[in-house]
Amino acid sequence: MRLKNDLGEIDRCLSRLDEFCTRFALPAEIHRAVAVALDELLSNIISYAFRDDDEHLIEVEMAADQEQFRAIVRDDGVEFDPFTRPPADITSDIESRPIGGLGIHLVRALMDDVSHRRVDGKNVIILIKRMGK
């Protein structure tokens, strides 16, 4: 499916994910984990990837077989590999715990495999969640 770079579009993507998970009878655990990962990833892309005010299209592909669910997200924003960011601070006490930086941490933690490549001027991110985990 194709989304515009508008935060309101994330809900449309999550609705499509709901349909997909229902059609393939995917377990709730996988459905929820992928929903959070896509929400985080898309809100990052929509908020930070585009340096102009133009409309951009973000492509999201979903596929599943008996072994895994796979989502591929492509955007034509600035080259950025979110997975090279340093790990989030998850140990300091409540006064000094930073408010941000958890989004990509969650994507990594909830997915079994994540990757980024730059192909033909686009960021291509692949998220993989294995069944039965």
Residue ranges of E strands in 1-133: 2-4, 57-64, 68-75, 113-119, 122-130
The residue count for the chain: 133
Residue 79 or 89 with smaller CB distance to another protein: 89
Residue 62 or 110 with smaller CB distance to another protein: 110
Residue 84 or 91 with smaller CB distance to another protein: 91
Give the 3-state secondary structure of residue 62. Answer: strand
Judged by CB under 8 A, which of 58, 82, 103, 111 binds another protein?
Answer: 103
Between the alpha carbon of residue 84 and those of residues 41, 80, 102, 127, the distances in Å are 14, 9, 14, 15
Which residues of this protein are in contact with another protein, per CB under 8 A?
7-8, 10-11, 14, 28-29, 32-33, 35-36, 39-40, 43, 88-91, 93-95, 97, 99-100, 102-103, 105-106, 109-110
